C-alpha cells in the first residue's frame, strides 16, 4: 500500500483556482497509472484515527476485489485538510476521490473543479438503488450530481420531558406548531427557572428549518445560476421577533452560553437546565452520552414537520471526484464502493453517521447501540415527511453562516432589533453573492 508523502504545503486561495486548475501539472499528467501498470486512484479524507483505520481496511478490500486499481491515500485533520486541498486545487492536482463537505461543495463545484457524476449514475457505475432521492439532490448543482453521501441525518428536537412535566408543558410530538413550541419554552422558564431552549451554535440551521416550514429556503439559484435570497421579510421578522422576545424573558439563553461550552457535558441541556435542543438527529448518541446523572433526553420530530415537507435527508458529508482525474470510471467505481458496498458498511459502522444506503443500514442495524437505533429508526419513520433537499450552499457560504450567527447573537443580547437583524443578514448575503458570482 502506497502512502502519500506528508508535504508541508502552504495555503492557496480558491480565488486563483479557476485560472490554474485548467493548467494541470506534470504530476497530474502521470496520475492515471503506477509503475506496475495499474490504474492509480488517489483518495484524501479528514477524520478521526478510527476513520483512518477503517478506510485503510476498506481500501485493502477494494484493491483485493479490483486488482487493476491501486489506491493511494492521505488524510489530515479538518483545518489542514482544506488548506491542502486548496493548494492542490490551485495546482491542478486534486485527489481523484476526496471527502467533500456541504460548506465547500458549491465552491469546488461552481469553479469546475469536480467531475460530474450523472453519467456514472445513469450507467449504474454508481448505484442509487438504495439511496433516497434527496441524497442525490443534495449533492447536485444545476441538475448535475457532483457528490454522493455515505451517511445522512435530519433535523430533530431533543427534549427533557421531566422539565416539561414539571412545567406542565405539553406538546403533541406528532404534530405541533412553532407557536406551541415557543410557548412550551416560556412555560419551562416560568415554572422551573431553567432555559426553555438552548441553541445549537450553528444558528443558520435553525433559520433554515424555520424558512422551510414556510415553504421557503435560505437561498436559491436563479436561471443564470446565481444565488438569491429565498426567504420573505415576513418570515424572517416572525422568527427574529420570537428569538428576541424569548431571550428578553430568559426562556432562551444568550448565544455565548452554548458557544462557550468546551464540551457538550457542560451544555445546559446536558446538565438538565434546558428543555429543548434542536439539532440533527445523528447527534442523539453524543448528547445522551454527555447527559449528567439523572438527566434523560428523548428524540422527536421538530415543529410543523407533519404537513410542510420541511424535513429532508441531509448528507453528513460526501465523496466527490476531481475533474482532472485520469480515470473517471475507476474513480466512480471507488465512490460506489465506499457508499454502497455491504462489507464497507460493516467496516465503517456508524463512524460516518447513519448509512444513507437503506440496505446497508439494515445490514448493520443489529450491531448498533440502543441510542444509535433510536437515531436510525427516526430516519426510517420520517420517510413520508421528507421533502426535497435544500440547494447546495453557494460560494462564500461561510460568510453567510457567520452573518446568521451574528444576528442570532445580537437578538439574544437585545442589541439588534428584528428589523435590524433582517437588514444586516440580507445585506451580508447579497454582498457575498455579488462578490462571488457575476450577473
Do 231 and 85 reside in the same domain of the chain? no
Is residue 7 included in any domain, yes or no? no
Per-residue pLDDT reduced to its tens digit, 338-381: 999 999 999 999 999 999 999 999 999 999 999 999 999 999 99
Q: Which of 327, 344, 377 is the last residue of a domain?
A: 377
Cα distance between residue 89 and residue 147, in whole Å: 17
Q: How does the average pLDDT of the chain come out, rounded?
A: 92
At 293, the pLDDT band (50, 70, 90 cuts) reads: very high
> Do 221 and 161 sit in the same domain of this protein?
yes
Dihedral-angle region of residue 21 (phi above 0 means left; psi in -120 to 50 means alpha; beta otherwise): alpha
Burial 301-322 (b: 16+ CB within 10 A, else e): bbbbbbeeebbbbbbbbbbbbb
Does 17 have pLDDT greater than 70?
A: no
Number of domains making up the chain: 2
Q: What is the CA radius of gyration of the chain?
A: 23
Residue 386 within a domain:
no
Instruction: Express each pLDDT in 196-219 by its tens digit.
Output: 999 998 999 999 999 999 999 999
Check residue 346 and give its pLDDT: 98
Residue 388 lies in a domain: no
Same domain membership, residue 29 and residue 108: yes
Same domain, residue pair 159 and 271? yes
Q: What is the pLDDT of residue 52?
A: 97
Question: Do 83 and 28 share a domain, yes or no?
Answer: yes
Terminal Cα-to-Cα distance of the chain (whole angstroms): 48
Query: Looking at the domain assignment, is residue 243 inside a domain?
Result: yes
Res 14: pLDDT:
46
Query: SS3 letters for the chain?
Result: CCECCCCCCCCCCHHHHHHHHHHCCHHHHCCCECCCCCEEEEEEEECCHHHHHHHHHHHHHHHHHCCCEEEEEEEECHHHHHHHHHHHHHCCCCCCEEEECHHHHHHHHHCCCECCCHHHHHHCCCCCCCCCHHHHHCCEECCEECCECCEEECEEEEECHHHHHHHCCCCCCCCCCHHHHHHHHHHHHHHHCCEEEECCCCCHHHHHHHHHHCCCCCEEECCCCCEEECCCHHHHHHHHHHHHHHHHHCCECCHHHHHCCCCHHHCCCCCCCEEEEEEEHHHHHHHHHHCCCCCCCEEECCCCCCCCCCCCCEECCEEEEECCCCCHHHHHHHHHHHHHCHHHHHHHCCCCCEECCHHHHHHHHHHCCHHHHHHHHHHHHCCCCCCCCCCCCCCCHHHHHHHHHHHHHHHHHCCCCHHHHHHHHHHHHHHHHHHHCCC
* CATH classification at residue 320: 3.40.190.10
Q: Is residue 383 situated within a structural domain? A: no
410 with 294, same domain: the answer is yes
182 and 330 in a single domain? The answer is no
pLDDT surpassing 50 at residue 181: yes
Task: Say if CB 195 and CB 250 are below 8 A apart.
Answer: yes
Query: What pLDDT is stored for residue 1 in this prediction?
Result: 32
Tell me: pLDDT of 28 over 60. Answer: no
Poorest-confidence range of 5-19, 74-88, 259-273? Answer: 5-19
- Tell whether 235 and 289 lie within a shared domain: yes
**Residue 5 covered by a domain:** no
The boundaries of the domain holding residue 362 are 14-150+316-377
Give a yes or no: residue 121 inside a domain. yes
Is 84 found in the same domain as 35?
Answer: yes
Q: Give the residue from 345, 377, 409 where a domain finishes.
A: 377
Contact 188, 195 (CB under 8 A): yes
260 and 166, same domain (yes or no): yes
Residues 165 and 273 in one domain: yes
348 and 242 inside one domain: no
**Would residue 373 count as lying in a domain?**
yes
pTM of the predicted protein model: 0.90
More confident residue, 29 or 329: 329
- In DSSP terms, 298 is beta-bridged to 159
Structure confidence by residue, pLDDT tens digits, 241-286 = 999 999 999 999 999 999 898 899 999 999 999 999 999 999 999 9
Q: What is the largest CA-CA distance in the chain?
A: 72
Q: Which pLDDT tens digit goes with each residue over 96-132?
A: 999 999 999 999 999 999 999 999 999 999 999 999 9
| Residue 60: closest CA among 289, 414, 344, 261 | 344
Amino acid at each position: 500500500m502506497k502512502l502519500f508523502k506528508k508535504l508541508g504545503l502552504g495555503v492557496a486561495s480558491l480565488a486563483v483556482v479557476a485560472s490554474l486548475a485548467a493548467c494541470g501539472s506534470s504530476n497530474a499528467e502521470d496520475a492515471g497509472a503506477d509503475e506496475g501498470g495499474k490504474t492509480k486512484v488517489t483518495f484524501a479524507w479528514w477524520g478521526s484515527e478510527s476513520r483512518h483505520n477503517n478506510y485503510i481496511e476498506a481500501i485493502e478490500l477494494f484493491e483485493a476485489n479490483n486488482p487493476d486499481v491501486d489506491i493511494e491515500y492521505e488524510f489530515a485533520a479538518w483545518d489542514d485538510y482544506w488548506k491542502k486541498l486548496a493548494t492542490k486545487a490551485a495546482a491542478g492536482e486534486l485527489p481523484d476521490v476526496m471527502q467533500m463537505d456541504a460548506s465547500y461543495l458549491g465552491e469546488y463545484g461552481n469553479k469546475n473543479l469536480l467531475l460530474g457524476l450523472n453519467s456514472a449514475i445513469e450507467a449504474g457505475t454508481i448505484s442509487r438503488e438504495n439511496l433516497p432521492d434527496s441524497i442525490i439532490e443534495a449533492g447536485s448543482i444545476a441538475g448535475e450530481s457532483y457528490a454522493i453521501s455515505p451517511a445522512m441525518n435530519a433535523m430533530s428536537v431533543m427534549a427533557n420531558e421531566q422539565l416539561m412535566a414539571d412545567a406542565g408543558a405539553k406538546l403533541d410530538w406528532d404534530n405541533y406548531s412553532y407557536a406551541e413550541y415557543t410557548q412550551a419554552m416560556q412555560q419551562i422558564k416560568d415554572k422551573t427557572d431553567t432555559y426553555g431552549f438552548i441553541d445549537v451554535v450553528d444558528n443558520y440551521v435553525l433559520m433554515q428549518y424555520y424558512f422551510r416550514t414556510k415553504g421557503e429556503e435560505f437561498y436559491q439559484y436563479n436561471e443564470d445560476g446565481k444565488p438569491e435570497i429565498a426567504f420573505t421579510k415576513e418570515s424572517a421578522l416572525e422568527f427574529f421577533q420570537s428569538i428576541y422576545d424569548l431571550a428578553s424573558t430568559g426562556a432562551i439563553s444568550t448565544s455565548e452560553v452554548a458557544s462557550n461550552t468546551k464540551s457538550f457535558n457542560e451544555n445546559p441541556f446536558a446538565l438538565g437546565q434546558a428543555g429543548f435542543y434542536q439539532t440533527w438527529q445523528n447527534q442523539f448518541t453524543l448528547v445522551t452520552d454527555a447527559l449528567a446523572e439523572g438527566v434523560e433526553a428523548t428524540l422527536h420530530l421538530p415543529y410543523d414537520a407533519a404537513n410542510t415537507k420541511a424535513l429532508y435527508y441531509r448528507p453528513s458529508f460526501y465523496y466527490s471526484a476531481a475533474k482532472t482525474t485520469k480515470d473517471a470510471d475507476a474513480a466512480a467505481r471507488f465512490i460506489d464502493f465506499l457508499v454502497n458496498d455491504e462489507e464497507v458498511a460493516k467496516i465503517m459502522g456508524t463512524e460516518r453517521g447513519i448509512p444513507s444506503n437503506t440496505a446497508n443500514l439494515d445490514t448493520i442495524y443489529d450491531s448498533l447501540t440502543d441510542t444509535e437505533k433510536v437515531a436510525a429508526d427516526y430516519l426510517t419513520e420520517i420517510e413520508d415527511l421528507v421533502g426535497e433537499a435544500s440547494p447546495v450552499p453557494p460560494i462564500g457560504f461561510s460568510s453567510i453562516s457567520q452573518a446568521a450567527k451574528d444576528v442570532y447573537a445580537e437578538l439574544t443580547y437585545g442589541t439588534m432589533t428584528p428589523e435590524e437583524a433582517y437588514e444586516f443578514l440580507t445585506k451580508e448575503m447579497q454582498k457575498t453573492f455579488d462578490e462571488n458570482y457575476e450577473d
